[in-house]
Amino acid sequence: MTNTMTNPNPSAADLIRAVEKANSAQSLVDAVRDLADARIESASSLLIEALGYNNPGAAVAAVDGLVALGDVVVPTLLEQIDGYNYGARAWAVRALASIGHPDALETLLHTLETDFSMSVRRAAARGLGMLRWQLLPETEIEPAQSKALATLLPMTDDSEWIVRYATVVGLQALAIAIPPDHPDWHRKIHDRLSQMQATDESLAVRTRVKQAQAIISQFIQEQSNQTDSSISPDWQSILDKVYRRKASERPLEEGDPRRFKSVVATMSSSTN
User: Digits of tens for pLDDT over the chain (272 positions)?
Assistant: 444 445 667 888 999 999 999 999 999 999 999 999 999 999 999 999 999 998 999 999 999 999 999 999 999 999 887 666 888 889 999 999 999 999 999 999 999 999 999 999 999 999 998 899 999 999 999 999 999 999 999 999 999 999 999 999 999 999 999 987 788 999 999 999 999 999 999 999 999 999 999 999 988 888 777 655 544 445 455 555 554 554 444 444 444 434 444 443 444 444 44
- 161 within 8 A of 202, measured Cβ to Cβ: yes
Q: Which residues have a Cβ under 8 Å from the Cβ of 56 and sit 6 or more positions away?
A: none
Is 11-99 a CATH 1.25.10 domain?
yes
| Domain assignments of the chain as residue spans, ordered by start | 11-99, 134-257
- 165 within 8 A of 205, measured Cβ to Cβ: yes
SS3 content of the chain, % helix, strand, coil (to 5): 80, 0, 20
Identify residue 244 by its one-letter amino acid code. R
Architecture of domain 134-257: Alpha Horseshoe (1.25)
The residue among 105, 118, 180, 198 whose CA lies nearest residue 145 is 105
Note the pTM of the prediction, 2 decimals.
0.77
- 163 within 8 A of 119, measured Cβ to Cβ: no
Q: How far is CA 244 from CA 61, 176, 208, 213, 237, in A?
A: 23, 14, 22, 21, 11
Domains 11-99 and 134-257 share a fold: no
